Structures are given as structure tokens and as C-alpha cells.
Amino acid sequence: MSTRKIGVYICYCGGNISDYVNCESVRDAIAGEEEVKVAKTTMFACSDAAQQEMIDDIQQQGLDALVVASCSPTLHLFTFRGVAERAGLNPYLYIQVNLREQCSWAHTDVPDQATEKAINLVKAGIAKARLTEPLIKTRIETVPRALVIGAGISGLRAALALSDLGLSVFVAEKSDKVGGWVAEFGRMYPHDRRGQDLIADLVREAGLRENVHIYTHAELREKSGSVGDFTVRLDVKGEPVTLSVGSIITTTGFVPYEPASGEYSYGTDGVLTLTEFKRLLDGSEGGLTYRGRPVDTVTYIYCVGSRGSSQKDTPNMYCSRYCCNAAMHASSLAHELSPAVHQFHLFRDIRTYGKYELLYQDARQKGAVFIRFDGEDPPQVEKSNGRFRIQVKDMLMAGEELDIETDLVVLATGMEPRPNQALNDVLKVPVGLDGFFKEIHPKLRPVETVIDGVFIAGTAQAPRNSAESVASSLAAVAKTAALLKKGYVELEPLIAVVDPETCTWCGECVGSCPYSAIEKISFGDKEIAEVNTSLCKGCGACVPACPQGALGVKGYTDGQIRAMIDAMMIDMVEASRG
């Protein structure tokens, strides 16, 4: 390629980089590099003003490659590709050098050496930029239909919202009935509406929509294709159903934590999980009774199966978010049924966040007694004389030991991800340490996953209550609509490519590809491998598998990698030679 004109920008990241790396030295060190036309430092490369400056430089200086040495590409690769694009430069002529995560943050104690390393990293980036070439994205027409997995309140509400936006929806529900947990509930907090009624409303409305199809006894078996154009095969009541959809929203929900046998005497009659107690409340009229006997005292124990509290081998470390609120609400419902009932709440922290604080107030005003225990020293529950005796140290009373006699023990159990390995194997959406589906970014992209076109919502992503689940499912609808209403998606061109001259079709690559993106084709008088551009993710797994060296990944060519290593190492090599 002819002589390049490269612009290099070194970002201070407002001190994140410049506190440890001398950015001015880095700039000075690379300003004289061959083909570097512009070398600048900037306080925040991502700021609008700095972006505009780059655009001006590209246009006025006629730059044909752009290097920004800043943070991780996870954060800003697309930002700066966008800059290139707005300046009229092919976005793949942009190279990001990670000076923050890979340099300044890693070497806070040795600023001089961090600076030296930064110089080498930027030189490598420049070397790579020299060998960039314009790449064109693959455009795929999208299918204006979505698949929703799970017909709980999140899934049903998502289906209606998609339908509102003119998208057709298929809902696949594994069980024989729709509505999930909410369909079982009576009065729910905070608006005192009945779960059954909410679900009935949604189901009635779905029945009126021509573009909503709900399958029960349905499970996802296979998924092929890619974002915007998936082919999915469902098993519906034993029959295969094949659908073409543009995206998938996963709202598979949760299961309640099931205490270990003997955990707070669980398994003994009268020790109930919160779910079981809610069922008891919803089924009660004219007084709170258990097995026909009136209940005089209810004692709640919080954080069962949450916050590291469990008698199981791998306790859940997370807080389940909804249980405090739900226990408060249950307490108030119990009081309404039997105003004379005594209620004790043994808690660690009351997490009635936000407006749910009012539930806590309400429970207290109705006479519930709150006792704080230390998570390290949990209450002891034992059965005695047909009732339960609970011993607890009250941390609100300087650790005073209390004995509570109670008829019922309610374990405020948390949420766990619904186990469904078969589905996970098909979707390939990663799960986090807590077992819930993992989002791309917990703050900014909570419903998107690393599998483009597959979204997560409701309690499949994290514990939350019904209204919050609905909010997240609507958010997933918005992202789905953003994907499908445009009519097309563009796929990254950074994918594998086969050199037909070198390839001898041994088939090694096929086995290495996790996306089944490699097929055999005829090429002249021989057979070679071909990469399906819409399936390939550019992961590169096939490249080392090829004994002929016939495979490469665009944007990460062997030539580029070698040039980067050379650029990075040359000083060190020369230095070692003395």
C-alpha cells in the first residue's frame, strides 16, 4: 500500500491515564513515526469536542487511518469508528490502543515504565493501522417477528408491546399454562392488584391480537441463523415447529429458593417458604388459619437462601431484592386476616428500597415486631409442644437473647435462576456468577446479551418484582423494535476468510467453529472451505486449526499481528543487544 497518513490521539482520560502515563512523552515519542501525520494529546478523546477535532483533522489533513490510545475497545471502539465514519473514513481504518486497562491502571506504581510500555503499545497500534484496509459490513434483511421464551408476566407483556409496534410475536411456554408465578398470586404490592387479574387481562388482550401466537408445552430445541434472521425449531407438544424470527426475548423467570432439609427446621410442618405462605394467605378468608387451627404468632426469618445464608454447599451470595418487600406485604395481609396475630420479623437489613419503605411502615404500624439478627449468628428454630421455639440475639437491643414461641415460621426465601441447561445450550447466552443470565453491561445495557438479537428480561436476568420485571421486558421490547423496525442489520465484517489457493479441505476448521459457519464448497476442480458471512463471529478459532494456514480473520491478519509485535519489541530487542 502507498504511504499512509495516520492520525494518533493519546487520551488523558481525565487523569485515569495521565496520572501514571506521561502522555506528552508518548506523543513526542511517536510523533516522528513514519506515516504519522497528526499526533496529539487530549483530555477526553471521547468528548464531543475532541471527536470534532479528529473529524476536522481527518478531513483537512486527508488522514487515511486513525489511532486513539485511550481505554478498552469495549467502551469506545464504536465511538471512534463512528468518528471515522462521520469524517468520511471507512470505520475499519480505526485502531484502538488500550492504554488504560492494559497500562495505566495496571502499573500505577511505576509511572516511568508505564510510559515506556504505553509508547510501545501505541507504536504497535500505529503498525497495525498501517496495514488496515477498508471493510464493508454485511447487511442482512431482518424478519419482523420475535420469539418470546416464557409466558410469565414479562413474556406476555412483551408480546403485547411488540404487537403494539406492529411486530409479530410467538410466545413459547414450557408448561401447560401461561401466566407464570403471577398467575397464582392474589393481592400484590404495591398497588394491591391481584396477580390473577393482571394475567387474565394480558391473556385476554393477547387473544385479540392476530399477530400474537402463544404455544404452551413448547420448548426451544434449535436456533440457527443470526441476528435479524434466526430460524428456530420448537418442540410443541411433541411436534416440531419451525419459525423464522428476527430476535428472541428470553423471559424464563425464576424459581424460589428451596431451603435445605432442616434449614431453620424446613421440612417440619409449620415452616413455610415465603411462596408457600403467600399461597396460604391468598387462599385464606375470615382469619389466618393453618391446617384448620387459628394462627396466633407468625415469625419471619429473612435472607433465607440469600446473602450467603444457606445450608447448601454453594450458598447464593446475592440479595434477592424482592423478599423484604414481599414479606412486609405478607405481614400486612396476615394482619388484615387476623388483626390479633402476633408477627415477629427476624431480619439482617430491611431493604424496602424506595417507595417500598411504605410497606415497612405499614407492617410496623400494624404491630409487627422487628428483630435484627447477626448473619453470623442466625436464629435457632426448634419444634416444641406443637409450636416452634426460636432463639435469637436482638442486635437492636445490644444483643439481648430472645425466646419466641410461634405457630408458623416463614422463611423469606429468595429467587434462583430457573435451571434449564437445555435452553442455555441452544441460546448460548452466558450466565453470571449468580447463575442469572448475564447482560452486556449491568448499568447501561441490561437487556442485551453478547449474542446479538437475543435479549433477556424479567427475573431471568436478576431477582426483581413483577412491576420491575414488566419494565425490563418493555425495555427489551424497545431494543427488539430498534433492531427489527429498521428492516436490516449490519454485521461486523471482521470475520474469517479462506484463501482458496491454500485450502485443501481437510475439514479441521469445521470442527473448530462454534457457530457452524464453515461449509464445504467446490472451487474449480477442488473442494475448499467457505465461511458463511452471516454466521461467522470472527472469533478466530478456525485460524490455528488450519494445518495449511489458509484461514485468517479480517482486521486481525497475521501481517498485522506480526507488525505489531515487531513494533512493540524492536526497542527492547535493540536495548538487549546493548
Partner 1 sequence: MDYDVLVVGGGTAGMESALTLGDMGYSVALVEKEPTIGGKMILLSKVFPTLDCASCIATPKMASTFHHPQVTTLTYTTIGGIAKTPRGTFEAKLERKATYVDFDKCTGCQKCELACTVAIPDQFNFGMVARRAAYIPFAQAVPKKAVLERYGTSPCTQACPAGIKAHGYVSLIRSGLHDEAMKLILEAVPFVGTLGRTCYAPCERACTRNELEGSVPIRTLKRYAADRYYQLHPQPEYGPPEDRHNERVAVVGAGPAGLTAAYHLARLGYPVTVFEAQEKPGGMLRLIPPFRLPTEVLERDIANVTALGVEIRTGQAVDDPSRLARQGFDAVFVATGTWKDSIPAIDGVDLEGVMGAVQFLTQVAAGNPPNVRGKTVLVAGGGRYGIALDCARTASRLGATRVVVQFRRSREELSSVEWAIEDALEEGVTIQFLRAPAKLVGVDGQLVRVESAEIRVGGRDVTGRVLPGSVGPGTESMEVDRMILAVGQDVGSAGGTSGLHTTPSHTIVIDPRTMETAIPGVFAGGDVVSGPSSVVEAIGLGSRAARCIDRFLRGQPRIRDDVDADLIAVEKSRTLTRQDHYTTLPRASRDLRPAAQRRTDFDEVELGVEEAAARQSAARCIDCGGCCECHQCISACPADAIDFGMRDQEQILEVGSVVVSTGFDLFDPVGKVQMGYGRFPNVITAMQMDRLLSPTRPYNTVLRPSDGKIPDNIAYILCTGSRDFQSDNQLCSRVCCMYTIKQAQLVMGALPLADVTIYFIDVRAFGKGFEEFYEQSKAMGVNFVKGKVAKVEQGDDGNLILQYEDISGEGKVVRTEHDLVILSVGLLPNREALSLFSGGALAPDAHHYVKETDEDLSPGQTSIEGVYVAGSASAAMDIPDTILHSGAAAALSAAYVERVKR
- The footprint of partner 1 on residues 178-217 (CB under 8 A) is 188, 190-191, 193, 198, 201-202
Comparison of 180 and 270: residue with beta carbon closer to partner 1: 180
Q: Which of residues 320-339 bind partner 1 (CB under 8 A)?
A: 321, 324
Residue pair 153/179 in contact (Cβ under 8 Å)? The answer is: yes
Enumerate residues 44-73 that contact partner 1 by CB under 8 A.
44, 46-49, 51-52, 71
Select 70 or 284, whichever has its Cβ closest to partner 1: 70
Number of residues that bind partner 1 (CB under 8 A): 84
- Cβ at position 446, least distance to partner 1 in Å: 6
Please name every residue paired with 347 in a beta bridge, in sequence order, or none if there are none. 372
Under rule CB under 8 A, residue 75 binds partner 1: yes
The interface region with partner 1, picked from 28-36, 222-230, 326-334, 442-450 by CB under 8 A, is 442-450
Q: Which whole-number Å values give the CA distances from 503 to 196, 497, 519, 526, 539, in the listed order?
A: 61, 11, 13, 9, 19
**CA-closest candidate to residue 263, choices 381, 401, 173:** 381
Q: Does 554 bind partner 1 (CB under 8 A)?
A: no
DSSP tally for the chain: helices H, then strands E: 14, 32
**Cβ of residue 85: shortest distance to partner 1, in angstroms?**
10
Q: Pick from 255, 396, 431, 521 the residue near partner 1 by CB under 8 A.
A: 396
Query: Measured from the CB of residue 150, what is the shortest distance to partner 1 in angstroms?
Result: 17
Residues 498-517 binding partner 1 (CB under 8 A) are none
Part in contact with partner 1 (CB under 8 A); list of ranges 287-295, 383-391, 438-446, 534-542: 438-446
From 166, 367, 430, 514, residue interacting with partner 1 (rule: CB under 8 A): 166
For 300, other C-beta atoms within 10 Å of its C-beta total 29
Residue 354 binds partner 1, judged by CB under 8 A: yes
| Residue 376 contacts partner 1 per CB under 8 A | no
* Shortest reach from residue 37's CB to partner 1, in Å: 21
Contact 480, 146 (CB under 8 A): yes
Query: Residues 6 or more apart from 412 whose CB is under 8 A from it?
Result: 274, 300, 301, 302, 303, 304, 323, 324, 326, 327
Binder to partner 1 among 240, 267, 287, 399 (CB under 8 A)? Answer: 399
Applying CB under 8 A, which part among 234-242, 269-277, 392-400, 536-544 lies near partner 1?
392-400
CB of residue 471 to partner 1, shortest distance in Å: 4
Q: How far is the CB of 533 from partner 1 (least distance, A)?
A: 24
436 binds partner 1 (CB under 8 A): yes
CA distance 3 to 37: 11
Q: Count CB neighbours of 523 within 10 A.
A: 15
- Restricting to residues 15-44, name those near partner 1 by CB under 8 A: 15-16, 43-44
Q: Residue from 135, 241, 337, 475 that binds partner 1 (CB under 8 A)?
A: 475
What b/e string do you get for 302-333 counting C-beta neighbours within 10 Å, with b at 16 or more? bbbbbbebbeeeeebebbbbbbbbbbbbbbbb
Q: What Rg value do the Cα atoms of the chain yield, rounded?
A: 30
Q: Is 453 in the site for partner 1 (CB under 8 A)?
A: no
Candidates 106, 110, 340, 358; binder of partner 1 (CB under 8 A) is 358
Q: How far is CA 577 from CA 114, 123, 571, in A?
A: 22, 20, 10
Rule CB under 8 A: is residue 154 a binding residue for partner 1?
Answer: no
d(CA 154, CA 250): 9
Q: Which three cell numbers stand for residue 82?
A: 463512528
Q: Residue 111 belongs to what H/E stretch? A: helix 111-130
